Structure 1
Amino acid sequence: MSQPHPDFLFANVTVTLEDEGIWVVTLNRPAKRNALDEATIEELIELFSKAPRQGARAIVLAASGDHFCAGLDLVEHHDEDRSPADFMHVCLRWHEAFNKMEYGGVPIIAALHGAVVGGGLELASAAHVRVADETAYFALPEGQRGLFTGGGATIRVVDLVGKSRMIDMMLTGRVYQGQEALDVGLLQYLVSGSSLDKALELARRAAANLPLSNFAICSAVSHMQNMSAMDAAYCEAVIAGVVNTQPDARSRLDAFAKKTAARVRPNN
């Protein structure tokens, strides 16, 4: 049974505890299409800084209302009339939040619907797995608004779709949706029903793994992508040495050796 997390009683983000160490983190500014203002980013930083140390085994990132996230709160940005230095520091806080997500070591599954636009796509791209329903659409409209991405699209969205596709999205306002969004790599799962239900299913599957294995998968892989091939190979060997000899894995290996463990089978 889900219940509010007592340590994270935020104004713009709701955190609930599910069974099996699963957290559901819900953006809760539906009247603003869950646009990201400074306060919301600070809540995300606190949450994802603490989650790995507070027992989260998997996190579902969701949103209330009709849209996942419409990106930067442009009204706040307009009203603040920031200096270049001020906005640079706003962007650095976005990077802090999204780096905590990508490198924190806890699996994050994003449940997407409606607008996944601008900074909303940057947020979604910081998750490890993305599930979208048929209403979800993806865009980077910064070019049409006289802006440039500041929350990591040049890093993570490029990694998902490639440089040329991202430049096209920014130059022309191209919108991806449905099977086309799946085909270009913006998501891994496209569902006809609830993206939240599918995300929870995947979170339960991930939460059944050993935490140290998940930490390596959801942290080391990203770190190794930033290294040379030689350095990444060395790092992979060191991580494998630690993870593949962990005592908690012994019973799982024993079950495999005795042929009592589930085998990998093709989908029926």
Structure 2
Amino acid sequence: MTDADIVQYDLEGPVAILTLNRPEKRNAVSDRLISVLAEQVARAQAEAKAAVICGNGKHFCAGLDLAEHVKRTPIEGVHHSRLWHRVFDQIEGGTIPFFSALHGAVVGGGLELAAATHIRVADATTFFALPEGTRGIFVGGGASVRVGRLAGVARMTDMMLTGRTVSAEQGEAWNLCQYVVAEGEARQFAIDLATKAAQNAEMSNYAILHALPRIADMARGDGLFMESFVASMTQTSPEAEERLNAFLNKTAARLSHPSS
């Protein structure tokens, strides 16, 4: 299998689709896969306006390839963890929104990867888990920050201490995913969402990806102050003027109730 095969890359209009392709290993993340994923993420940010990450086979990603991890020295373990941090930061803090289409196992490093994406769509077969405690190890791909903030420290502690699995429906309630769809429908649903996001103004998308998480970390007054500057930057752009005029002239689509 070539590097291009281990993380497949497709471009559908403005949307890049990155597919993990180690189905015989439940798409476990090897050193080779994480390096190729970094390359494909950079390519997507150069070519597309939004991206989807999904997995071939029966599972999205069953986590770290333990066969590689078991022989690492402590300092090698640190360097390995920091590599994952850099790649997942590239996804979360890049230039375009990333969506993940989840099915089957979203476990350990697989959940860490999904948590780095901005929107997560799970199908009915999805289950989430952080079994590191039962393996005698600790999360190393960013879960202590990202999953802890999504689901809460108490729930993450439960998952790590007990090895419990969480269904797609429970995962939605815990904010591990934002959508739950029927089996086999997550990929297309995520592509449809990414296509919608790709139509937004580039400055608006960038502000959403970068300002919102920073404002969440700020004191209330600081966050409101930053919001004013970001709002001014987006609202005074030529593209914003064009889109706002289209709304005022009733040539832009109107919102409707979700049931319709």
Match of 2:58 among 63, 66, 76: 66
Aligned partner of 2:257 in structure 1 is 266
Q: Is the 8 A contact 2:23 2:56 kept in 1?
A: yes
- Opposite residue 17 of structure 1, the aligned amino acid is L
SS of the residue 2:35 aligns to: helix
Match of 1:238 among 226, 229, 237: 229
Aligned partner of 1:94 in structure 2 is 84
Instruction: Please state how far the C-alpha of 1:37 moved relative to its aligned partner.
Output: 1.1
Aligned partner of 1:225 in structure 2 is 216
TM-score (norm. length: structure 2): 0.94
- Provide the rounded CA distance (Å) in 1 between the counterparts of 2:52 and 2:256: 26
SS of the residue 1:138 aligns to: strand
Which residues of 2 match residues 1-268 of structure 1 at below 5 A? 10-19=4-13, 21-52=14-45, 54-78=46-70, 81-193=71-183, 194-268=185-259
In the comparison of the two structures, how many residue pairs are matched? 257
- Provide the rounded CA distance (Å) in 1 between the counterparts of 2:32 and 2:226: 37
Q: Is the 8 A contact 2:91 2:116 kept in 1?
A: yes
Instruction: Please state how far the C-alpha of 1:212 moved relative to its aligned partner.
Output: 1.5
Q: Is the 8 A contact 1:34 1:67 kept in 2?
A: yes
Q: List per-residue Cα deviations over 1:86-116 (Å, max 9, x = no partner).
A: 1001000000011111111311110000100
Instruction: Please state how far the C-alpha of 1:236 moved relative to its aligned partner.
Output: 2.1
For structure 2, the residue ranges without an aligned partner over 5 or more in a row are none
Instruction: Please state how far the C-alpha of 1:139 moved relative to its aligned partner.
Output: 0.2
- Provide the rounded CA distance (Å) in 2 between the counterparts of 1:239 and 1:47: 30
Q: Is the 8 A contact 1:105 1:217 kept in 2?
A: no
- Provide the rounded CA distance (Å) in 2 between the counterparts of 1:85 and 1:235: 39
- The 4+ residue runs of structure 1 with deviation greater than 3 A are 226-231
SS of the residue 2:146 aligns to: helix
Q: List per-residue Cα deviations over 1:62-98 (Å, max 9, x = no partner).
A: 11111100111001112xx111111001000000011
TM-score (norm. length: structure 1): 0.91
After superposition, the CA RMSD in angstroms is 1.6
- Opposite residue 177 of structure 1, the aligned amino acid is S
SS of the residue 1:130 aligns to: strand
SS of the residue 1:10 aligns to: helix
